[in-house]
């Protein structure tokens, strides 16, 4: 539970635009969004990060969860 993924696996998020509910799946390597766990690991390993990303892939939600 020391890794942020441990907390985020218990968080339920609601998209304010669509009302869609979703969860993170950062503990299951077979899950489709598991690649986000590697992003968290990189953020934890360095004090600053600059991310060039596509839209709608959950990085902003991930950053908010990491900040939490």
Non-local (6+) Cβ contacts of 53 within 8 A are: 59
pTM comes to 0.77
| Whole-number CA gyration radius for the chain | 12
Domain count, the chain: 1
Domain interval for residue 33: 4-67
Q: What is the mean pLDDT of the chain?
A: 88
* Tens digit of each residue's pLDDT (9 = 90 or more) over 18-48: 999 988 889 889 988 899 999 999 999 998 9
The strand pairing partners of 22, in sequence order, are 13
């Amino acid at each position: 539970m020391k890794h942020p993924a441990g907390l985020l696996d218990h968080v339920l998020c609601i998209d304010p635009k669509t009302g869609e509910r979703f969860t993170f799946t950062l503990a299951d390597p077979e899950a489709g969004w598991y690649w986000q766990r590697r992003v968290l690991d990189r953020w934890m390993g360095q004090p600053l990060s600059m991310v060039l990303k596509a839209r709608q892939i959950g990085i902003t939600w991930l950053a908010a969860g990491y900040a939490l």
